[in-house]
């Protein structure tokens, strides 16, 4: 993950960024997630996500004027949640978008508190945040056939911070750049 300037995310709209808040894995967690992706791909097929794209979306903002970045940062500044560990141990499949993912059999309350605090702050500042129930997941496969969920080696992910990410489409797929990072307590 690179940390570039804020230019050039969308040639058609130079002053907007495609943004989302996310959990971003440390190196060891990313390697473990990538191994889980390889395992799931052997069972379900499809297109594996590149290791450098693996993440959990906390709140999706979509196309956003760059001038709103300070407001977004102020929203994230209000979040006060203790660090926690996420154990990702269950494969999941969504038929409607053919995505194969890794999720948690048991999600710690801090995770939902984090999503809730962030979403509440963002809505309060006027951002339209998805109101559907949040399912913590790492997308591992796209255009996958799915099938019976294979047993997965659990991935223990220490959650110590969250990030604001800008996504941009390149010839080789999506690229995600962390713009800012907020530590948990
Ligand atoms: P593409 O949409 O081109 O296939 P992508 O989904 O990887 O690429 P984005 O659309 O920028 O890239 O999405 C970034 C992240 O936010 C992804 O994890 C995606 O699943 C999630 N996301 C996208 N749209 C929404 C939405 N409406 N609600 C919740 N999460 C979303
Ligand atoms: Mg998308």
Structure confidence by residue, pLDDT tens digits, 116-158:
999 999 999 999 998 888 999 999 999 999 999 999 999 999 9
Position 94 pLDDT exceeds 90? yes
Which whole number is the average pLDDT over 98-126?
97
Higher pLDDT, 59 or 1: 59
Residue 62: CB atoms within 10 Å: 14
60 alpha carbon – ligand 2 mean position (Å): 10
Burial of 70 (0-12, 13-18, 19+ CB in 10 A): exposed
Q: Whose CA is nearest to atom 20 of ligand 1?
A: 57
Residue in 21, 60, 97, 168 to alter for ligand 1 test, most ligand atoms within 8 A of Cβ: 60
Position 2 pLDDT exceeds 80? no
Interatomic CA distance for residues 42 and 40, integer angstroms: 5
Residue 146: CB atoms within 10 Å: 19
Please work out whether the CB of residue 84 comes within 6 Å of at least one atom of ligand 1. no
In the chain, pLDDT over 90 holds for what percent of residues? 89
Do 149 and 107 contact (CB within 8 A), yes or no? no
DSSP 88-120: E-EEEEETTTTEEEEE-SS--HHHHHHHHHHHH
Write out pLDDT tens, residues 27-72.
Answer: 999 999 999 999 999 999 999 999 999 999 999 999 999 999 999 9
* Architecture of the domain spanning 16-183: Alpha-Beta Complex (3.90)
In the chain, pLDDT over 70 holds for what percent of residues? 92
The pLDDT value given to residue 181: 98
Please work out whether the CB of residue 18 comes within 6 Å of at least one atom of ligand 1. yes
């Amino acid at each position: 993950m690179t940390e570039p300037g804020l230019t050039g995310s969308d040639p058609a709209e130079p002053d907007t960024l495609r943004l989302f808040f996310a959990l971003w894995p440390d190196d060891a967690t990313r390697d473990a997630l990538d191994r889980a992706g390889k395992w799931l791909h052997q069972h379900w097929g499809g297109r594996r996500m590149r290791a450098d794209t693996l993440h959990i979306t906390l709140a999706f903002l979509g196309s956003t004027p760059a001038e709103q970045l300070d407001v977004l940062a102020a929203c994230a500044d209000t979040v006060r949640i203790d660090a926690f560990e996420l154990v990702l141990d269950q494969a999941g499949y969504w038929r409607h978008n053919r995505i194969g993912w890794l999720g948690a059999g048991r999600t710690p309350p801090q995770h939902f508190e984090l999503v809730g605090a962030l979403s509440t702050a963002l809505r309060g500042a006027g951002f339209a945040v998805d109101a559907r129930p949040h399912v913590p997941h790492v997308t591992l496969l796209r255009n996958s056939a799915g099938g019976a969920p294979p047993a997965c080696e659990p991935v223990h992910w220490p959650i110590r911070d969250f990030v604001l990410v800008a996504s941009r489409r390149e010839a080789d797929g999506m690229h995600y750049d962390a713009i800012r990072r907020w530590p948990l307590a």
